[in-house]
Structure 1
Amino acid sequence: MTEHGRSIARNAAVVAGATLISRILGFVRDIIVAFALGAGLFADAFFVAFRIPNLLRRLFGEGSLTMAFIPIHSRIREEEGEEAAQAMARSAAIWLAAILIGITVAVELLARPLTMAIAPGFLDNAEQFAVTVDLVRICFPYVILICGVALCMGILNSRNHFLAPALAPVALNLALIGAALFGYLFGLNVAYCMAYGVLVGGAFQWLLQQPFLAKAGFSWRGPWSWRNAGVARMGLLMLPTVFGAAVYQLNILLGTLLASFLPVGSVSYLYYADRLVQFPLGVFGIAVSTAALPSLARLAAKGEMGEYDEALSASMGLTLFIALPAAAGLIGLAEPVIGLLFQRGAFTPEAVRATADALVAYSVGLPFIALSRPLVAGFYALEDTRTPVKIAVLCLVANIGLGVLLMRPLAHVGLALAVSLSSLLNFVCLHWFLARRRGTAILPAGGCLKMLVLSALIGGGAYASAGWGWWWVVLIPAWVAVYFALALAVNLKEARLFADMLRSRARRRLGKGR
């Protein structure tokens, strides 16, 4: 594997580790918030109020802003130098602040009609509606802070620094945990405390980036321009990515709409199953694409397209090396995992089986969802954001059509299977268009077959262990070790890469201990 592949793997490991910490802390946050806030009037008001800036974060912040910024910033840095790149970043910050402050002022003035539009049912309860309006006004400025964090993420990632941006969600989780406990212990209104906690968390997320930006040589002081050509180009690239994010949200909404026509419980079965599939995707799938984009953008800016092809192929191999056994494990252990996590209280054995069936159907598509992420990063590195969005729209139509077709014979499992099949279509289209553009195959075929066979063996073993009582839990680390050992035995380069990384880290720690 090339040095670019090794660099992507190292950076992906950093992002994955920080994301894992954030996900675990998020689970702790949910437990504490449930304890302190409960599930009443104020809880509903807070969750609705926080949903608005969170939706804008997903549409304009972390995904579209960062993905549009990095290729342009990298190209300017390569072709015009560091000063021009920094001027472009400052200009982007000024534009971003101006637009978001304008939107925030509008929301503060129109909070009542906005709340009426997103939660019309709250009008029946005057107190709940008034509280939600208050919380919307408190929470919404968070969007300014988090989009600023997204810009900092782009600057740092383009300079090969990934730790601080990946740890940013940890700061928000800690702020929300602290706000909930503060309100509970001092007898204050927990919902209002958490709303202010959102702002504190956003400020902490932004402040966390600043020492690392300074260490990387970046300064917010210096020349900037309202007419910066790089910012104009970034804005044009952002438009399709924002639309693509909206397509993704629409996909979720329409899937829920279809599930509402099925028997009671179907929406919940799909929700809980999707949460489990999103865990490996969030920790590992996003990590590789996040780490890959800056490297791919730098190589594309330099015109080193052979290196670009090798780096993209390495990213695909690393993604598949993790996604295939993760999917096999979820399929093999679907029912016992669902039972362990959820079977208590009103969550019956019948609900466990129904959710496990949905998990199996979703898991079939997990590798294709994961593989699509580095492919999209490959398009963005080439400053092509339109092609992935066109394909996303096609797959949205396919998902809804397949959902309508399969939900009749298979109920909620048909909707989950439709997601997997449309994810396969998305991967095939992305790979075909990018491979045709580059004139070379991107996915390493030989390694794929080995990974598929090994994952099937591990999945079969995990499925067999499901009938051995609690041993299936104990054996999960063993299956991971067996998969890794077999991958080394059949000479998979991705396994060798991880082994080299572990040995290198162990040597560094031993060296520090002396």
Structure 2
Amino acid sequence: MALWRSTFIVSAMTMLSRVMGLVRDVVLLGVFGAGKDFDTFVIAFRIPNFFRRLFAEGAFSQAFIPVLTEYKTTRTHAEVQILISRVFGCLATFMTLLTLIAMIAAPAIMYVYAPGFHDDAEKFALATDMFRLTIPYLLFMSLTAFASSILNSYGSFTTPAFAPVLLNLSMIAGALWLTPYMATPIMALGWAVIVAGFLQLALQIPELWRKKLLIPPKIDFKHEGVERILKLMLPALFGVSVTQINLLLNSIWASFMQDGSVSWLYSAERMTELPLGLIGVAIGTVILPALSARHAEQDQTKYRNMMDWAAKIIVLAGVPASLALFMLSTPIIQTLFQRGQFTLADTQMTALALQCMSAGVLSFMLIKVFAPGFYAQQDTKTPVRVGLMTVAVNAVLTLILIGVFKFMGWQEEHMALALASSGSALVNAGLLYFYLHKRDIFRFGTHWKKLMLQFLIANSLMVLALAYALTWYNGDVAEWLRVAQVLGLCMVGAVTYAVGLILTGIRPRHLRP
């Protein structure tokens, strides 16, 4: 039940963050629209955000948590404090240097990550200025991820899970109240990002202090724990962040496409992050410290059972989420974003991207369970091998699909990028499971045959119910009526799916860890 409680806490806080994130996107797209200025912000902010997920929440957390958990399980509290101190000092030093180098090299970095902007001098200059303004966010969030990893390892999930809410609140405030005072309105979002990074770090400090884990930093790259973390982290830099690498590569491709392409992909991606964050990230956040502890205790039975439970919850939620996002793409995008500068054409283009991305939702979620199965055992090489293959698949799919769209004369080229992301995610999840199965770390048992039949029936009922309910949807009505219609559609889908699960014999006790 401890896993359920922790998952519920993380999921609840993530739900709050995602809801506020949707409010944020509604505000931002209403104020700025899906045009040139917002494209520059998305690209400029995606780069520090990418490195945050790559270094901080990605490779660093996956390497640090297993080592910290082992120290906590097998060593004294004083030794744990020394480890925290040395990691703190090394991480802060490295990220500070990286931030300064990035600020100096901003034009070159922007040329690499958004080469399509170079043909528009004004757009390129704005994106470069925005990047310089937002890159310190990387330093703040690296230290925030460090603090969150410590708290998660000690079973404290509420504060770290709540922290992202502050980013959404800060950006909403920047768009609504700071924009009128800026010579270049979109730059208000850059200042809002910096404030949010500071606030998210500050939020972690009181709880670390209460747990006597707020230790002054000391630089010592020769410390045994630091060396182990670095050895695990270097390959994990690639393996754990394949999804982010592919999304960043998509941004590069999108920079060559028509204005609005980056924004359409961003908006669609934000919608897929709702189920991914509520279930996938929540389960992944909770399961890594628990799996690391089971590995330290050499309890392989509990290890496999824990992964089986996590996979069950992922499939339970991921399949209906994927189907619902595909079927309800236009009503959802129209209701959330179509106002102000965000037009009907933007809705149609974003809905197409969302339909393509929805195909990869389940795979993205399963990766959050399968990857920790390796990292908890301090195996970072296997995910790297899988990651290399996945990036190659994404690149090949992207080239093929863009070629097909150009050959056919289709203007919706951004769909090719979304389809490639979904396809590469499927390959990523499939290969991770292949190696888990091959090494007898985890495999779907015979009980999954019955589960899959039950899930199939419940999801089929949901699809039929949504198909019928969609015939009543009318987007040409007042905004509040559109909201009511979408809420009604979501309710129809959720209730039908729940009834389907009950009719097939699934009960809450079957979902216990």
TM-score range, shorter chain: 0.7 to 0.9
CA distance in 2, matches of 1:206, 1:264: 35
CA distance in 2, matches of 1:114, 1:261: 16
Q: Is the 8 A contact 2:179 2:188 kept in 1?
A: no
Quick one: which of 417, 420, 430 aligns to 1:428?
Answer: 430
**1:82 match:** 77
**2:506 match:** 492
CA distance in 2, matches of 1:194, 1:355: 22
CA distance in 1, matches of 2:35, 2:264: 23
Offset of 1:251 from its aligned partner? 2.3
CA shift in 2, pair 1:72/1:172, >3 Å:
same
Q: How does 1:34-433 map to 2 (within 5 A)?
A: 49-111=44-106, 114=109, 129=125, 136-184=131-179, 194-221=189-216, 225-244=220-239, 247-255=242-250, 272-341=267-336, 347-348=343-344, 356=351, 358-405=353-400, 408=404, 416-433=418-435
Residue range with higher mean Cα deviation, 389-398 or 285-294? 389-398
Q: Is the 8 A contact 1:321 1:451 kept in 2?
A: yes
**2:477 match:** none
Instruction: Provide, for residues 323-367 of structure 1, a one-character-per-residue CA deviation record: whole Å limited to 9, x for no partner.
Output: 111122223334443444456788557x76676555444333322
Unaligned runs of 5+ in 2: 475-484
CA distance in 2, matches of 1:27, 1:308: 36
CA distance in 2, matches of 1:221, 1:265: 46
Instruction: Provide, for residues 247-287 of structure 1, a one-character-per-residue CA deviation record: whole Å limited to 9, x for no partner.
Output: 43442355567778999987776555444333211322111
CA distance in 1, matches of 2:131, 2:250: 27
**1:456 match:** 460
Give TM-score scaled by structure 1 length.
Answer: 0.82
CA distance in 2, matches of 1:335, 1:42: 24
Q: Is the 8 A contact 2:30 2:337 kept in 1?
A: no
Q: Is the 8 A contact 1:46 1:191 kept in 2?
A: yes
CA distance in 1, matches of 2:298, 2:254: 48
Q: Is the 8 A contact 1:328 1:456 kept in 2?
A: no
Percent of residue pairs identical: 30
Q: Is the 8 A contact 2:366 2:429 kept in 1?
A: yes
Offset of 1:18 from its aligned partner? 1.5
Q: Is the 8 A contact 1:149 1:206 kept in 2?
A: yes
CA shift in 2, pair 1:119/1:105, >3 Å:
same
Aligned-residue RMSD, C-alpha: 3.8
Offset of 1:376 from its aligned partner? 0.5
Offset of 1:178 from its aligned partner? 3.5
CA shift in 2, pair 1:467/1:167, >3 Å:
same
CA distance in 2, matches of 1:37, 1:268: 11
Offset of 1:13 from its aligned partner? 2.0
Offset of 1:425 from its aligned partner? 2.6
SS at 2:202's partner residue? helix
Give TM-score scaled by structure 2 length.
Answer: 0.82
Residue range with higher mean Cα deviation, 247-256 or 36-45? 36-45
Unaligned runs of 5+ in 1: 1-5, 502-514
Offset of 1:321 from its aligned partner? 1.0
Residue range with higher mean Cα deviation, 98-107 or 118-127? 118-127
CA distance in 1, matches of 2:350, 2:186: 32
Q: Is the 8 A contact 2:137 2:197 kept in 1?
A: yes
Residue range with higher mean Cα deviation, 482-491 or 337-346? 337-346
Quick one: which of 497, 500, 507 aligns to 1:483?
Answer: 497
CA distance in 1, matches of 2:104, 2:328: 51
Offset of 1:198 from its aligned partner? 2.8
CA shift in 2, pair 1:365/1:51, >3 Å:
closer
Q: Across the two proteins, how many residue pairs are aligned to each other? A: 492
Is 2:471 the counterpart of 1:441? no
CA distance in 1, matches of 2:359, 2:32: 37
Counterpart AA for 1:427: A
Offset of 1:370 from its aligned partner? 1.2
CA shift in 2, pair 1:428/1:35, >3 Å:
closer
